[in-house]
């Protein structure tokens, strides 16, 4: 922690005091802003971008702070320049909020991480709406929190501090729905695929099987939606959550549609790398068992061995054996990856204090114990070389997914930050091979 003394770290009283000092020092910028907070295990970044797009479609100048960085109108400050974690520490956060106020930004969409809540980084901010995307086991449970209960308790804080005039947008099918519902004074909006929800959706197939509409049902309204971001089930749920989050601000169906349909990509989330190669490349943030499963379901549902009227021949994945994850979760990810992909290329990803080779060795031990065929995987320590090898091995109509980092700008080695963006590196390699548009 660069800006907070070490003895502050786990003391709630001192943490709250530190947050209040930040409010005071920067002149309470939050009093001039509308805040919408988004928390959950996955889907936070996509949901925040969808909310931002709706608000901007309504003519509301909107800022965003989260994993993908800080967006102040046309200025972008990438997350690794903001300090540790998704949610910046109070003095960084309120300095950004002051800058937003000075630029006449009226609303802020904020990713609120479990560590941000545990360390009271958003203490004193009044959220007009809060969204829970989902909650499931992930590496934060063991690396930041003492157990799953502690992780859930941290997420719950965002909703416990909502006022009666706020809105709590909760996923109806999550096992923690009742817990969150009981622990907030806010108005509850339940969303999901079930018609018992306040905000729900169904799919309408037109004459052409590839022409599906998403039908949104909210209160007494029903309207169709044609998402330009990948139409995965989790993105449909993220869209519902975004509608719920702005429900007290934006009521026009036309504006909701314009906002949701006006965004064609989320940085580093199922991001298609445009090129003239005879195969497809996607970069995605997926770096947990839960997000691996979501990605695989997306490929099954949307590619289904048929992409642009061409058969998908093989599926290739590149990912790092992540340092933060427990060995058990890495084994689960390796199992599902080996079962689904035709070829996986294991490399490094933010080794930090560990030797980058350790993740490779852990995977090789898994492969040996589980009798994974040797033609099913490659291990290449250098991440750039791993991406290049996957591209060189790709054949016509193959699908390559490069996972784990999304739009991250740096690779972390102990105390060093080395510039590395999967998307930029992929484009460099494609250019070298003559495939770049």
Note whether 191 and 241 are within 8 A (CB): yes
Pick the CATH number of 6-261 from 3.40.50.720, 3.30.9.10, 3.40.1190.10, 3.30.559.10: 3.40.1190.10
Strands, DSSP E only, in 78-166?
Answer: 107-111, 129-132
Note whether 124 and 20 are within 8 A (CB): yes
Q: Pull the structure tokens for residue 67.
A: 């994993």
Distance from the Cα of residue 149 to its chain's centroid:
22
Note whether 159 and 132 are within 8 A (CB): yes
Sequence-ordered list of residues with C-beta below 8 angstroms from that of 172, at least 6 positions apart, any chain: 190, 191, 192, 194, 196, 197
For domain 271-432, the question of CATH label 3.40.309.10 is answered with: no
Cα torsion 96, 101, 103, 104: sign:
positive
What is the residue extent of each domain of the chain? 6-261, 271-432
Please provide the size of the chain in residues. 437
CB atoms within 10 A of CB 418: 8
Radius of gyration of the chain (CA): 22
Q: What is the pLDDT along the chain (437 residues), one digit of tens a residue?
A: 445 555 666 788 999 999 999 999 999 999 999 999 999 999 999 999 999 999 999 999 999 999 888 999 778 887 655 665 689 999 999 999 999 999 999 999 999 999 999 999 999 999 999 999 998 876 677 677 888 899 999 999 999 999 999 999 999 999 999 999 999 999 999 999 999 999 999 877 665 555 678 999 998 889 999 999 988 889 999 999 999 999 999 999 999 999 999 999 999 999 999 999 999 999 999 998 889 999 999 998 877 544 444 568 899 999 997 666 778 888 999 999 999 999 999 999 988 878 888 889 999 999 999 999 999 999 999 999 999 999 999 999 999 999 999 998 888 888 888 999 999 999 999 999 999 87
| 383-393 and 422-432 helices, crossing angle to 10° | 50
Q: Pull the structure tokens for residue 176.
A: 């923690």
Name the 3-class secondary structure at 335.
helix
CB atoms within 10 A of CB 309: 6
Q: Pull the structure tokens for residue 209.
A: 């099987």
Q: What is the pTM of this model?
A: 0.90
Separation CA 156–CA 399 (nearest Å): 39
Which pLDDT does position 1 carry in this prediction? 44
Which pLDDT does position 278 carry in this prediction? 94
Which pLDDT does position 39 carry in this prediction? 97
Note whether 246 and 55 are within 8 A (CB): yes
Note whether 72 and 96 are within 8 A (CB): yes
Phi, psi of 75, deg, nearest 5: -90, 135
CB atoms within 10 A of CB 305: 12
Name the 3-class secondary structure at 378.
strand
Separation CA 399–CA 335 (nearest Å): 19
Separation CA 312–CA 314 (nearest Å): 6
Which pLDDT does position 307 carry in this prediction? 46
Q: Pull the structure tokens for residue 40.
A: 């959950």
Which pLDDT does position 110 carry in this prediction? 97
Note whether 198 and 221 are within 8 A (CB): no
Counting Cα atoms < 13 Å in the Cβ hemisphere of 378 gives: 17
Cα torsion 110, 112, 117, 119: sign:
negative
Separation CA 122–CA 222 (nearest Å): 35
Note whether 92 and 3 are within 8 A (CB): yes
Helix (H) or strand (E) holding 191: strand 187-192
């Amino acid at each position: 922690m660069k800006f907070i003394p070490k003895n502050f770290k786990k003391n709630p009283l001192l943490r709250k005091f530190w947050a209040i000092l930040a409010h005071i020092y920067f002149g309470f910028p939050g009093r001039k802003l509308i805040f919408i907070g988004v928390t959950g295990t996955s889907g936070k970044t996509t949901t925040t971008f969808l909310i931002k797009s709706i608000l901007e479609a309504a003519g509301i100048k909107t800022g965003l702070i989260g994993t993908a960085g800080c967006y102040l109108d046309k200025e972008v400050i990438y997350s690794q320049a903001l300090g540790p974690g998704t949610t910046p520490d109070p003095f960084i956060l309120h300095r950004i909020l002051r800058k937003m106020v000075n630029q006449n930004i009226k609303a802020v969409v904020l990713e609120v991480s479990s560590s941000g809540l545990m360390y009271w980084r958003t203490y004193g901010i009044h959220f007009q709406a809060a969204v829970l995307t989902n909650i499931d086991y992930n590496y934060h449970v063991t690396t930041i929190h003492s157990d799953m209960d502690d992780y859930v308790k941290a997420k719950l804080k965002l909703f416990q501090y909502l006022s009666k005039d706020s809105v709590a947008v909760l996923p109806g099918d999550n096992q923690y729905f009742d817990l969150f519902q009981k622990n907030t004074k806010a108005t509850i909006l339940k969303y999901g695929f079930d018609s018992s929800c306040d905000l729900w959706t169904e799919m309408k197939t037109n004459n052409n099987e590839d022409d599906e509409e998403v039908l949104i049902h909210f209160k007494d309204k029903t309207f169709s939606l044609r998402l330009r971001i990948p139409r995965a089930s989790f993105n449909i749920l993220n869209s519902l959550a975004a509608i719920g989050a702005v429900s007290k601000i934006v009521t026009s169906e036309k504006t909701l549609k314009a906002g949701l349909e006006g965004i064609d990509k989320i940085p580093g989330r199922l991001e298609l790398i445009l090129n003239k190669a005879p195969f497809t490349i996607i970069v995605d943030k997926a770096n947990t068992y839960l997000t691996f499963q979501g990605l695989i379901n997306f490929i099954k549902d949307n590619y289904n061995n048929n992409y642009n009227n061409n058969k998908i021949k093989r599926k290739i994945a590149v990912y790092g054996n992540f340092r933060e994850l427990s060995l058990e979760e890495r084994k689960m990810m390796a199992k599902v990856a080996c079962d689904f992909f035709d070829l996986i290329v294991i490399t490094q990803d933010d080794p930090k204090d560990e030797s980058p080779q350790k993740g490779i060795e852990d995977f090789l031990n898994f492969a040996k114990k589980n009798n994974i065929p040797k033609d099913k995987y490659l291990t290449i320590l250098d991440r750039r070389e791993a991406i290049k090898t996957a591209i060189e091995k790709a054949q016509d109509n193959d699908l390559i997914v490069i996972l784990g980092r999304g739009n991250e700008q740096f690779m972390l080695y102990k105390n060093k930050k080395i510039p590395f963006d999967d998307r930029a590196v992929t484009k460099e390699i494609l250019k070298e091979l003559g495939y770049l548009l």
